[in-house]
Structures are given as structure tokens and as C-alpha cells.
Amino acid sequence: DAKTTQPPSMDCAEGRAANLPCNHSTISGNEYVYWYRQIHSQGPQYIIHGLKNNETNEMASLIITEDRKSSTLILPHATLRDTAVYYCIVNQGGKLIFGQGTELSVKP
């Protein structure tokens, strides 16, 4: 099963870009990478997902390396409300298997 590795915590200044890395070196060719975030006491919220190409939506950008062994989630202008735990997940046959995630703290 593909696993992901993320730093346990990161800080980011308000208004700056937050770049959250993820390693998924055992990912298979047809497995997508998903990013979710969870704000305290709420259910996880979908952010973005991708397979090979870089993706962008209204929330974030996802950069996937050419060998697909790692990816970076970019929040272009972090706000205090972006403080949350961010999960990088590989979709394994329709199931999302969560790791420990990165706790992002956005500071004024």
C-alpha cells in the first residue's frame, strides 16, 4: 500500500505562501494524490487532488514531481483561517487511508 510522509508541523506568516511537502515514493502509476485539511473539531475538508499534472483551484495549487514520488500543496496567501492539519493521501482502490498530517500554524 502506498504510504505518505509529511512533516508533523510547519509555521507560516499570514499573507505569505504556505508550501506543504509530501513524500509518496511507493505510489502506483494510477493512484491519485489527494489533499484534505481538518480544522479543529470539524470533519476533513477536500482541497485538491491530482495524478501527474499540476492542478490549481480556488483553494490551492498542487505540484507533483515528474517521477510522482512527492508533491507540494501551495496555499498562495495564507490566512489565519488556514490554520489546520493538512493530510496528503493516496487513493488506494477507492479508499482514503490517512496518515498523521502536517499541523500548519499561520501566524500574524
Partner 1 sequence: DVKVTQSSRYLVKRTGEKVFLECVQDMDHENMFWYRQDPGLGLRLIYFSYDVKMKEKGDIPEGYSVSREKKERFSLILESASTNQTSMYLCASTLFQGNYGYTFGSGTRLTVV
Of 20-59, which residues contact partner 1 (CB under 8 A)? 32, 34, 36, 41-46, 49, 51
Q: How many amino acids of this chain bind partner 1 (CB under 8 A)?
A: 22
Closest to partner 1 by CB, 24 vs 44, is 44
CA dist list (Å): 50 to 9, 11, 39: 23, 25, 22
Provide the minimum distance between the beta carbon of 51 and partner 1 in the complex, in angstroms, as a whole number: 7
Closest to partner 1 by CB, 41 vs 53, is 41
Q: Which residues contact 94 (CB under 8 A, 6 or more apart)?
A: none
Amino acid code (one letter) for 62: L
Amino acid code (one letter) for 53: N
Amino acid code (one letter) for 73: L
Residue numbers at the binding site for partner 1 (CB under 8 A)? 32, 34, 36, 41-46, 49, 51, 87, 91, 93-101
